[in-house]
Amino acid sequence: MQFRFGLSYILVIVGVLLLLNTYPLLASEDLVFRSKTATMQSGISVMINSLSGLDRLTEENVASVMAIAQDTPFSRIMVTDGTGLVLFDSRETGSAVGDYALFAEIVQALLGFDASSCTYQGGAFRSRAASPVLYQNQIIGAVYAYEYDTEQAALLSDLQSNLLRLSGVIGVVVLVLSLILSKALTQKIGLLLTAIREVREGAYSHRAEIRGRDEIAQIGQEFNSLTDRLQTTETARRRFVSDASHELKTPLAAIRLLSDSILQTENIDPETTREFVSDIGREAERLSRITEDLLRLTRLDSGILEAATEVDVLPVLEQVMRMMSLVAQEKEVDLTYSAAEDCTVMATKDEIHQVIYNLTDNAIKYSASGGAVQVSLSLEDKQVVLSVADHGVGIPEADLPRIFERFYRVDKARSRAAGGTGLGLSIVSDTVKRRGGTVEAANRPEGGAVFTVRWPQLLHPEGGEMV
Ligand code: ADP
């Protein structure tokens, strides 16, 4: 990636530098060519004017006219007759007088055209121009001028070498900058990649340390917060698996111990055998309760919800109360309830049953014999409120925030003795939250605990139809 970034920077800058080194030079060259052509043409036209009075060109009359025009700035001036024979040549050594000078420009001029050309080569501008000399519209000869200029050429080559130097400096600066920038960029991406790989391999505590505020740093921060959540979930999952296996191991160990005792004790009396087998039965029941609760929680975790229907909570409450009154009687706990009308929520009957059952079961379980449990169903601010209050042991304040966690129990031995799995409140909390409700636990000032569940009430319009 660094290579590709670097290469693209370099390609762009090479393009810019090529343009910088060609366009201004070509433009200046063209400017010089044009100004040279104009100067040559005007110089030649002055000479043509001087020759225009002659009806015929001879060496003598041309020489006398040209003697006056001698101070022209050109390097060489030649005048030919109508056949291209040189009559005058400003060059003294190697004079072409008497020879035919059939240069391209002279030929053009003898055909009646103004001709000019300019080249830049070997550090000099070479300009050539020729025009016809006319007498009564007859071409009687041509004037040819040549200029060899190194002064402007030196200026142009100065400009060229300055541009080259400047390009060199720009090229080096851009190269260094592009290297630094692309390295910084790829370094950040490298850090992010390393972090992703580490986390993928299970190192959930690894974080991407990317400084700055650019997009890559933001991706790094997002990745870190994602990893935070992953770490929390992973920790919870591990704790859950270890708690669950521990919970399952305990009754299994008891079953094994009891069955071993029956098998290994010689002449065991039928009464003891019956007692041990009944203990085995109780432990097996506990195992099935735990697995049932675990299955229920797994279903809640999977997020697949049974379709909610309109549920009137009152009949469900009455059904649970009928069921629990026997348990309460057995424990000599006074179970009473009060209910308001029109407590309709969107959920399933099973869910409502589960919530009321778990809370009432706990309230009776953690009440001493002779205690009382009050269940009430009411409407408050478009919410259906279920409250289960007892006069039992209550919950230590420090444990209150944690009692909805899976397998969390204030008093393990007491919970086990009462047949608890430590999952009842988690199921209540997850079930209620999934339907947009809340659940909270508190201690009553007069002693005992109170659990309050709130579901959004399903409102009916005046016509009695569902909203
Ligand atoms: P368990 O199966 O142990 O009852 P729960 O999830 O239902 O598990 O409850 C978690 C813990 O919260 C219990 O072990 C108990 O310590 C405490 N708890 C729940 N309900 C009550 C209550 N009504 N009074 C006192 N403590 C309670």
User: Is the pLDDT assigned to residue 380 strictly greater than 90?
Assistant: yes
Q: What is the distance between the alpha carbons of residues 185 and 193, in angstroms, rounded to a whole number?
A: 12
Q: Answer yes or no: is pLDDT of 4 > 90.
A: no
What is the per-residue pLDDT for 232? 87
For ligand 1, the distance from its centroid to the CA atom of residue 362, given in whole angstroms, is: 6
- Average pLDDT for 56-81: 83
Q: Which atom of ligand 1 is closest in space to residue 425's alpha carbon?
A: 6
Across residues 414-418, what is the average pLDDT? 78
State the average pLDDT for the chain: 89
Query: Residue 377's pLDDT band (boundaries 50, 70, 90)?
Result: very high
pLDDT, greater one: 403 or 65: 403
Q: pLDDT by residue (tens digit) across 89-121? A: 988 888 888 899 889 999 999 999 999 999 998
Indicate whether 178 pLDDT > 50. Answer: yes
Ligand 1, from 367, 403, 412: best to mutate by most atoms within 8 Å of Cβ? 403
**Cα of 278 from ligand 1 centre, angstroms:** 26
pLDDT at site 378: 96
pLDDT given for residue 465 in this prediction: 44
pLDDT band with cut points at 50, 70 and 90 for residue 185: confident
What is the tens place of the pLDDT at every residue in 11-58? 888 898 899 888 988 998 899 999 988 988 888 888 888 888 888 888
pLDDT for res 71: 67
- Phi/psi of residue 453, nearest 5 degrees: -110, 135
Which pLDDT score, from 0 to 100, does residue 420 have?
Answer: 83
- Residue 466: predicted pLDDT: 45
pLDDT tens per residue across span 451-467? 999 999 998 754 444 44
Q: In a 10 Å sphere around its CB, with 0-12 CB exposed, 13-18 middle and 19+ buried, how is residue 455 labelled?
A: buried
Q: Are the beta carbons of 332 and 294 closer than 8 angstroms? A: no
**Rounded distance from Cα 332 to ligand 1 centre (Å):** 19
For residue 419, name the pLDDT band (cuts at 50, 70, 90). confident
Give the pLDDT band (50/70/90) at residue 253. Answer: very high
Task: Give the mean pLDDT of 374-398.
Answer: 95
Least confident of 49-58, 67-76, 110-119, 269-278: 67-76
Query: Is residue 165 scored above 50 in pLDDT?
Result: yes
pLDDT attached to residue 440: 96
| Ligand 1, pocket residues at CB < 6 Å | 362-363, 366, 390, 392-395, 403, 408-411, 415, 420-426, 449
| Nearest Cα residue to atom 4 of ligand 1 | 420
With contact defined as beta carbons under 8 Å apart, do 427 and 297 qualify? yes
Q: What percent of the chain has pLDDT over 70?
A: 97
pLDDT at 314 over 50: yes
**Ligand 1 centre and the CA of 162: distance in Å?**
88
Instruction: Record the pTM.
Output: 0.61
Distance 352 CA to ligand 1 centre (A): 19
- Which residue has its alpha carbon closest to ligand 1 atom 19? 362
Whether residue 398 has pLDDT greater than 90 = yes
pLDDT for position 463: 45
- Write out pLDDT tens, residues 200-232: 998 888 888 888 888 889 999 999 999 999 998
Between the CA of 350 and the centroid of ligand 1 the distance, in Å, is: 21
Tell me the torsion sign for CA atoms 55, 59, 61, 67. positive
